[in-house]
Chains A and B, each alone.
Chain A
Amino acid sequence: MDRRTFVIATGAGLVAAPALIRSAHSADKVQLLLNWYLYGEHAPFFYGKKLGLFEKEGIDLQIVEGRGSGVSLQAVGAKSAHFGHVDMSAVVRAGIRGAPVVSTGVLLQKNPAAAMSFTEKNIRTANDLKGKTVATTPGDALSQVWPAFLKKANLRDSDVRLVQGDAQTKLNAVISGQADVLLGFSHDQSMKLKDATGKSVYPIMFSDYGLNAVATGIVAHRDTLSGSPDLVRRFMRAATLSAEAAEKNASAAADAMLEADSKAGKKETLTEGFEISTKLYRVTADQRPFHTNANAVKETVDLLVEYGGVDPSAKEKLASFFTTDFLPGKATN
């Protein structure tokens, strides 16, 4: 072996060693507990898993459906799941009560909350809601920002008639005509209404009325951040790359979701729902997925304090609700 060959071989060995060591160890088994049953927004996680992006980071990812942001957050707080995909309002509400759960990256920088109805009903603006029956779920993320929307849209409580029920009842109420409008996510419930009836749905976006609250993203237990910072960093890197890859190929992302669970929905509406969710990923063109900023979180907390009955001390604890320390840097490709 001449000197040149020796140098090349040593260099190659040094480069390959970490990967070899990692592959020698078994991958970290990680559970991601979603906020709800599967809908378009979740496609990146399935696509990233299919592309091997999590595996490349030494993560054996298991994606589990949730039953609401609150329950998923409690599960992460109790260390029953490593990561959760939950709404920021739940992080603040639980955080103020001492839950040791921190947002490590917000996926939806713009709020997907909307008052939606069948297009044929011609309810296009907040003013059109006057005299209409609105279906909501008590205590969910949407009912918590509803008072703020009313205020921003110059509406009073008495302008609409509320009927309240669980998530399925909301959909049933609009489908059966017992309610004109439901409060839901523009990329979730509107797709479900479309799936069930074939009719097109028009969402009145709360964000169009100046209601700027960040929404769903990844959360982890404080102990995970301090005890396994490398795992969190690897997870967030894989999740960011997954979201970026899915954005470029929405159809394949929906396919990956359906491959994992054939009952996740119809491909067309899953794709459409995911595409709508990608429009909420950033407020500036160069923003990478999950990269939120302190101002956006501050605005969310202010909103929850003013309209959502959250203790004003939340404003002082802003830094305890989120961190950007585990996110990858600017994209190099």
Chain B
Amino acid sequence: MAERAQSGWSTVVRWLDAPWLKPFAMLALMIVLWDVAIWLFNVPPYLIPRPWDVVKAFGTDGPLLLRESIPTTVATLGGFLLSALFGIPIAMLIAGSRTVESYFYPLLVFSQSIPKVAIAPLFVVWFGFGLAPKVITAFLLGFFPVVVAGVQGFKALDTDMRDLARSMKCSRWQMFTMVSLPNALPAIFSGLKVSVTLAVVGAVVGEFVGSNSGIGFVLQRSIGNFELPTMFAALVLLALIGVVLFWIVDIIERFALPWHTSRRHEFVATT
């Protein structure tokens, strides 16, 4: 009997220690702290809503929020894919040629200091109120981390490894596909993970500036109407979109880089 109770207790402990449960536990703790802070400092609801009111907003405005999350996700994915599509080749060029690096890299860094929210209204002027300005804003925010991480990854190739490949008379293509790219992939994926979360921000900035739909549109309208619970619900949904997209990139990374040091512990044989 005691053995059974002990085994039941250890199952509960194992469950509580499960990695997937930890972020939820942290989230629950933060929600409790949020509620306590509102109660403690007597923060009025027109400044910050209570967590329960946000939950209720999900109930009343849930269908609307889900519907509006689709255009935001589409714009995010569009911007992210463009970031990967242009960011990785540009990183290769910068890492592979000192001339390209000296001409373009400083300008690229310079361009990142320009606040996107300041130039986003111009995208609406140039490209209209459709999907394009949102995708471009998402791309501009997501592009830089991919390039920086890619350059770092491509440049971090060990000279011994390069010499070995050359001694084996690898062609340029073989050198790229079998040595340089696999070596750069971990850094590229780090950049992609940062990029996808920034692309969410970019898409919302685009929607804030000019859009008839999307989470940015909902945010702007609910701020004007003092519908703070709806606004916070939209923010939570936005964060969830970011988390899910990050997680998807993480899964792709697991499949692409099963050999990498960061993944090795998952494959350590259990003895």
Contact = CB atoms under 8 A, between A and B. Distances in A.
Contacts of B224: 68, 70, 137-140, 143-144
Interface string B120-144: 0110110011000000000000000
Given A70-B226, A162-B212, A169-B209, A138 B217 contact: yes
A74 to B, nearest CB: 6
B37 to A, nearest CB: 15
A154 to B, nearest CB: 24
Contacts of A168: 121, 209
Interface string A131-152: 0000001111001100000000
Contacts of B6: none
Interface stretch (A108-116, A171-179, A184-192, A197-205): A171-179
A140 B121 CA distance: 18
A137 B226 CA distance: 15
Interface in B88-131: 121-122, 124-125, 128-129
Interface string B27-54: 0000000000000000011110000000
B152 interface: no
Contact of A169 (B124, B222, B223): B124
A282 B208 CA distance: 36
Interface in A77-116: 77-78, 90, 93-94, 97-100
A224 interface: no
Contact of A139 (B46, B211, B223): B223
B221 interface: yes
A165 B46 contact: no
B11 interface: no
Nearest to A165: B210
B121 A139 contact: no
Contacts of B46: 74, 77, 94, 97-99
Contact of B124 (A68, A162, A172): A172
Nearest to B44: A98
B220 interface: yes
A296 interface: no
Contact of A163 (B47, B210, B223, B225): B210
Nearest to A170: B210
Nearest to A100: B44
A315 B109 CA distance: 56
A309 B222 CA distance: 12
A172 B47 contact: no
Contacts of A309: 225
Contacts, number: 82
A138 B221 contact: yes
A166 interface: yes
A39 B218 CA distance: 28
A164 interface: yes
A179 B44 CA distance: 40
A165 B223 contact: no
Nearest to B117: A166
Contact of B121 (A98, A138, A164, A169): A169
A92 B211 CA distance: 27
Nearest to B127: A178
A138 B220 contact: yes
Contacts of A144: 224-225
Interface in B204-219: 208-212, 217
A143 B129 CA distance: 18
B57 to A, nearest CB: 13
A290 to B, nearest CB: 24
Given A165-B124, A309-B225, A74 B212 contact: no
Contacts of A143: 221, 224
B60 to A, nearest CB: 13
Contacts of B217: 138, 164
B226 A94 contact: yes
A93 B225 contact: yes
A140 B225 CA distance: 8
B221 A166 contact: no
Contacts of B226: 70, 90, 93-94, 97, 99
A77 B121 contact: no
Query: Which one of A137, A165, A173 has the highest number of Cβ atoms from chain B below 10 Å of its Cβ?
Result: A165
Contacts of B44: 77, 98-100
A166 B208 CA distance: 6
Contacts of A140: 224
A178 B47 contact: no
Contacts of B209: 165-166, 168-169
A103 B124 CA distance: 37
A-B complex: 3 closest residue pairs judged by Cβ atoms: A139-B224, A165-B210, A138-B221
24 contacts: A74-B46, A74-B47, A93-B225, A93-B226, A97-B46, A97-B226, A98-B45, A98-B46, A138-B217, A138-B221, A139-B220, A139-B221, A139-B222, A139-B225, A144-B224, A163-B210, A164-B210, A164-B217, A165-B124, A169-B210, A172-B122, A172-B125, A173-B125, A176-B125
Interface of A: 68, 70, 74, 77-78, 90, 93-94, 97-100, 137-140, 143-144, 162-166, 168-169, 172-173, 176, 178, 309
Given A93-B226, A138-B220, 19 more contacts: A70-B226, A74-B46, A78-B47, A94-B226, A97-B45, A97-B46, A99-B226, A100-B44, A138-B217, A162-B212, A165-B211, A166-B220, A168-B209, A172-B122, A173-B124, A173-B125, A173-B129, A173-B210, A178-B129
Interface of B: 44-47, 121-122, 124-125, 128-129, 208-212, 217, 220-226
